Amino acid sequence: MNTATLSTVRLVSAPQHAPISSALHRACVAAKIVADNKGRDILVLDMRPCTPLFDFLIIATGTSRRQIHTLAEETDAALRAEGDTRIGIEGYEASKWIVQDYGDVMIHVFDSDTRDYYKLEELWADAPKVDWENEDE
Tens digit of each residue's pLDDT (9 = 90 or more) over 9-24:
333 333 344 455 799 9
44 phi and psi angles, rounded to 5 deg: -115, 125
Q: How buried is 71 (Cβ within 10 angstroms: 0-12 exposed, 13-18 middle, 19+ buried)?
A: buried
Q: Which of 93, 43, 44, 99 is nearest to 71 (CA)?
A: 99
Give the CA angle between residues 41, 67, 55 to the nearest 5°: 50
Quickly state the pLDDT bin for 4 (edges 50, 70, 90). Answer: very low
18: DSSP letter: P
The yes-or-no verdict on residue 5 having pLDDT over 60 is: no
Q: What's domain 21-133's architecture?
A: 2-Layer Sandwich (3.30)
Cα distances (Å, whole numbers) of residue 119 to 55, 68, 89, 113, 123: 19, 18, 20, 10, 6
Q: Which residues contact 89 (CB under 8 A, 6 or more apart)?
A: 72, 76, 98, 99, 100, 101
d(CA 26, CA 29): 5
Distances (CA, A) of 4 to 8, 10, 12, 15: 7, 13, 19, 27
Give me the pLDDT at residue 75, please: 98
pLDDT, tens only, 54-104: 999 999 999 999 999 999 999 999 999 999 999 999 999 988 999 999 999
**pTM for this model (two decimals):** 0.83
Domain boundaries, the chain: 21-133
Among residues 15, 35, 21, the alpha carbon closest in space to that of 79 is found at 21
The pLDDT assigned to 136 comes to 64
Altogether, the residues listed in the chain come to a count of 137
